[in-house]
Chain A
């Protein structure tokens, strides 16, 4: 148990240490109100990161998530305000387009055998370009109260989006850890050829993963709009790097075949704790980014060494 999950244990220890040290630095840090607010702030990155764990564990990568988020924000505004579609329907349509964007990623990767890094680099530019082109730098405001609840309200003591996040966490954890489909994802990541010979539906599984990645990015985009009450075409710029950082920090191998939802959750919490705690302790945000970069490289360095030793 300890050996198999050594990365998660190290990470949990690191997170606990950070929480103890930071709560000594600032009294505001370890308060319920602050922690709930942090949960609210991390939901958008977290939703995308949960699905990105599947993407990376299957040996792929999706750089276009931030662009799909921005495009979804713009489309939601356009459908609702410019085209006069009722908001609930506009939300469904937006999620549909987000899923289609992801499906398109999956399609060009599976059907044409494009390397995921480059395919999604292309769609990163394409989807962001569509968001910029459609919005023409105009934003949509005046969202109804019920919609803003999605990003600003609370339900039974927890922020609304944290409920969504918890549900996503449970579902994704169960699927990746305990189902046949989840093991298929690992098998594809470990060796696509072997998975194919084992009769697994490699193509369809990958398409599904990328489609869900698009769906999650789109949902994150809507929550973002509800939280800040406006739309901008540059929403989600750089999201892909935050997401990949959390997932890789969580122990998912960038080569695929390895990684857990628990690890990703810990990675997300560690990043958020550092960002918020250091800010409250008086460190400027930029110093925190440096630390996160160092933690990322440092954790992988330790992992690489322990793995080498285990193999020797």
Chain B
């Protein structure tokens, strides 16, 4: 826990650039390689797997997980966790859908989940940062409140008759499906922000060594509230992609959605001990297990085994992380 992965700007000789990329993005490259191998192998067995149609539907259907995992990655980098994000997405979907069918301008229906997500998560952030209750417990309580509250208010009713201009997930930009474009743009923007902006970089220090962060003048508590709010806003963006896929919005979310999102962050290389990991990794991981889920069908393995595969994948990823850390400690790095 004493090691801090905080990249200080330094002049590196050109010859070392490749090595540096390998060191800094080794994990991300590994996940990318896994995706490539999967596409090649399964594509060779069943070419329909890599057809443009299948690829588009698989990746745009799961883009919301990548978007939600961006915020989750930031939360985990600061050494917190949020179990309530699945329930939050359910609540935000209903808020957004209710506004959309009420006849209000569509931009209000789109903006509402992002704003509400940030506000709801501000409560979590304040309880964690200022009341000192561990985030795993606060978010467990929030999950119960959001989940129960949603069903109590809606009575389990679905929202139907959504206006077609609300259905963001069905729109395209220059022929590309909107969810793909969003996931790509948001990932790149968030990655650049966490790598280059002082605010974004400070998250790594808050998670890696809160004492040191405080010593250099970073307001640690405020940062934690802010990170939870940003995470809430990303959950709102994810909601827009998730809830507009179909013509109806249900008042339930896929069970264990929060664990799926956390899993994307973890497989993407975020250490639960804080201080390391990138959103590029988490987005690639979301792509990876969307691909695995679809691949199982194309090679005729029962989809019921999907979860077992993901479990093994998590364990292998964490094992690799643990071994790498041991080696770094041994090297005295």
Chain A interfacial positions (CB closer than 8 Å to B): 61, 108, 112-115, 117-119, 121-130, 132-133, 135-137, 233, 237-238, 241, 244-245, 248, 254-255, 284-294, 296-297, 300-301, 304-305, 308
Contacts and interface: CB of A to CB of B under 8 A. Distances in A.
Contact of A301 (B127, B311, B312): B127
B134 A254 contact: yes
Contacts of B302: 133, 136
B141 A296 contact: yes
Interface string B117-150: 0000000000100011110111011111101111
Interface string B147-166: 11111100000000000000
Contacts of B307: 125-126, 128-129, 132
B304 A137 contact: yes
Contact of A304 (B81, B131, B259, B304): B131
Interface stretch (B26-34, B215-223, B314-322): B314-322
B94 to A, nearest CB: 13
B262 interface: yes
Contacts, number: 149
Given A129-B308, A254-B134, A293-B145, A121 B140 contact: no
B78 interface: no
A286 B132 contact: no
B41 interface: no
A118 B314 contact: yes
B140 A284 contact: no
Give the residue among B144, B256, B319 with the most A Cβ atoms within 10 A: B144
A56 B17 CA distance: 45
A304 B305 CA distance: 43
Given A123-B315, A126-B312, A130-B308, A248 B137 contact: yes
Contact of B81 (A117, A124, A128): A117
B132 A129 contact: no
Interface in B280-333: 302, 304-312, 314-315, 318-319, 322-323, 326
A57 to B, nearest CB: 15
A292 B144 contact: yes
Chain A, interface SS category: helix
Interface residues of B, number: 47
A294 B314 contact: no
B83 interface: yes
A53 to B, nearest CB: 15
B263 interface: yes
Contacts of B306: 129
Given A125-B310, A129-B305, A133-B305, A286 B151 contact: yes
A54 B255 CA distance: 27
B235 interface: no
Given A289-B144, A294-B145, A296-B137, A133 B315 contact: no
B311 A124 contact: yes
A292 B146 CA distance: 11
A136 B304 CA distance: 6
A304 B132 contact: yes
A137 B83 CA distance: 27
Contacts of A254: 134, 136-137
B148 A293 contact: yes
Contact of A121 (B255, B263, B323): B263
B148 A119 contact: no
Interface string B78-121: 00010100000000000000000000000000000000000000
B328 to A, nearest CB: 13
B315 A119 contact: yes
Given A136-B304, A293-B145, A121 B262 contact: yes
B148 A301 contact: no
A119 B263 CA distance: 11
Contacts of A128: 307-308, 311
24 contacts: A108-B319, A115-B273, A117-B136, A117-B272, A121-B266, A123-B315, A125-B259, A125-B311, A126-B307, A126-B312, A129-B311, A133-B305, A136-B302, A254-B134, A254-B136, A286-B148, A289-B145, A293-B140, A293-B141, A294-B141, A300-B133, A300-B141, A304-B132, A305-B131
